Each structure stands twice: as structure tokens, then as C-alpha cells.
Amino acid sequence: MGVNVGLAASQASAMNQYSTTLRDINNSLKQYRANLNLAWQSDEMVFVNQAIDRLTNEIVLLSKELESLGSDIVSVANEIYREEEAARQAAAAAAAARAAMNFKPNW
């Protein structure tokens, strides 16, 4: 049983969807930050903004990592499939060569 490239592509697609969801969450968090800054003026907002900024930066990193992993999953699955296919072809060629060497015509 070889690698299931379709399943790998499906998993990569799910990771890309998770990445999109994280970007949406990030955009919402930035909007909340902006709204909070409009509604609440205090010295503590510097710390609140820093905390939100750290979260948004981490979300961006996670989103990019998910996209990269999704791409890697598909690339590796395709590479493994090509290697498995080459091995199958080599095995078939070797079997054909053995069969040709063992062929004895009845003349």
C-alpha cells in the first residue's frame, strides 16, 4: 500500500483552511484593538496593545507555518508516490527480464 496523495492533498487543504481561519481571527483581533483604543483611554492601554500585538504576531507566524506545512505535505506525498512508482516499474522490468531469461522455446 503506497502513499495516498489524495488524502495528503485533503489534509493540506484543511491546513490551508485553518490558516485562513487564523488570518480571519487575526483581522478581528486587530479590529477589536482599534475599537478598544477608541473606547478606552488609559495608561494601561499601552500594555493591552502590546499584548494584543504579541498575539497578532504569533497568529501570523502560526498561519504561515500551517501554509508551509500544507505545501510540504503535498510535495512529500508526491515525491514518495514518484519513488514508489519508480520502484514498481523497476520491479516489473526485473520480473520481465527474469522471465525472458527463463524462456525456453519448444522448437
The per-residue pLDDT for range 5-40, each reduced to its tens digit, is 999 999 999 999 999 999 999 999 999 999 999 999
Domain annotation covers residue 104: no
Does residue 99 surpass a pLDDT of 90? no
Domain boundaries, position 59: 5-99
Residue 66 belongs to a domain with what CATH number? 1.10.287.1060
Distance of CA 66 to the CA centre of its chain: 6
Place of cell 522448437: 107
Identity of the amino acid at 18: Y
Domain annotation covers residue 75: yes
- The string of pLDDT tens digits covering residues 39-91 is 999 999 999 999 999 999 999 999 999 999 999 999 999 999 999 999 999 99
The domain total for the chain is 1
What is the pTM for the complete model shown? 0.75
pLDDT value at residue 107: 66
